Amino acid sequence: MNRFSRYLIAAPTLPLMLAPGAFAAEQIGKALAITVTVSGDNGILRASSPIHRDERIRASNSGVGQFEFRDGTKLAVGPNSSLVLDRSIFAGDSSFQTLTLKATRGTFRWVSGNSKSSAYKVNTPFGTLGVRGTVVDIYVGSGTAAVVVLEGKATFCGNDGTCKRLERGCDIVRANRKGLLDASTEKSETAVRGVRNEVSFPFLMGTRKLSKPFQVGGGRCGLSASARNPNKMKGGDERSEPRRQGGNEGL
């Protein structure tokens, strides 16, 4: 066989080798539990399905996905939610040097794992969340994002460069595309203006159930279906300090 013939045989295989997805993305975690429908880049996910770097996770209108990353970090994805497992760099077999998620829509619960706190970052269209030994609930809507810290500490920096530290259980921050919203002027009967608490924070409100590794006891941080004003959380009367335990009193 001459050189030209070998080229003709090999040439058709080049597009397959160079096509997107030809090289498998690195697995960074797996699904622990799936309710209704949650999909990844390769189709519908089920319990034990692997998840990979750069993969987009989408939940249906009633779907809930519970995931665990290789360092023990846990992520719950609520109904009608979408995020990308944006960037990851391992610092050994069971920890990350960098783990960055891009939450574009929906509701999420984050439970930090064994990596250094500086490794974790959650990007939203309204700002960036950094977490430290933390359990947080996150809401990303079309015009607003909100974060409630349930355990540990976190910092949220808005698009205007202004940052807010969340240092106590039930501390909350809200932001729009212009930056952080002032809690003293952003009066609302719900945690997010115009959005029912059961929709913005379904895990905290207990409208969507999670397995024990994702649970945090201690109530609902002053939020209720009867729409008490969540801005009163800062006053102390309605604050309920979360604590990790085997059960989940408020959920």
Instruction: Report pLDDT for 14.
Output: 44
Instruction: Report pLDDT for 133.
Output: 83
Instruction: Report pLDDT for 76.
Output: 98
Question: Mean pLDDT, to the nearest integer, of 162-174?
Answer: 96
Cβ-proximal residues to 60 (8 Å cutoff; 6+ apart), any chain: 36, 37, 38, 39, 79, 80
71-94 pLDDT per residue, tens: 999 999 999 999 999 988 888 778
- Residue 55 pLDDT grade (very low, low, confident, very high; cuts 50, 70, 90): very high
Instruction: Report pLDDT for 182.
Output: 84
108-158 pLDDT per residue, tens: 999 999 999 999 999 999 999 999 889 999 999 999 999 999 999 999 999
More confident residue, 182 or 117: 117
Instruction: Report pLDDT for 172.
Output: 96
* 8 Å CB contact between 139 and 158: no
SS (H, E, C) 47-103: CCCEEECCCEEEECCCCEEEEEECCCCEEEECCCCEEEEEEEEECCCCCEEEEEEEE
More confident residue, 12 or 77: 77
Burial of 144: CB neighbours in 10 Å, binned 0-12, 13-18, 19+: buried
The whole-angstrom separation of Cα 132 and Cα 111 is 10
Instruction: Report pLDDT for 232.
Output: 43
More confident residue, 5 or 113: 113
DSSP bridge partners of 105: 82
Instruction: Report pLDDT for 93.
Output: 76
Instruction: Report pLDDT for 233.
Output: 44
E strand spans, the chain: 27-35, 38-40, 43-44, 50-52, 56-59, 64-69, 74-77, 82-90, 96-111, 120-124, 127-140, 145-158, 163-166, 172-176, 179-180
Residue 100 structure tokens: 């960055």
Query: pLDDT at residue 7 above 70?
Result: no
208-228 pLDDT per residue, tens: 999 999 998 778 998 987 444
The whole-angstrom separation of Cα 235 and Cα 172 is 13
The whole-angstrom separation of Cα 174 and Cα 204 is 16
Question: Mean pLDDT, to the nearest integer, of 44-50?
Answer: 98
DSSP bridge partners of 51: 29
- Residue 185 pLDDT grade (very low, low, confident, very high; cuts 50, 70, 90): low
User: In the block, which residue shows the tokens 């015009």?
Assistant: 143
* 8 Å CB contact between 76 and 66: yes
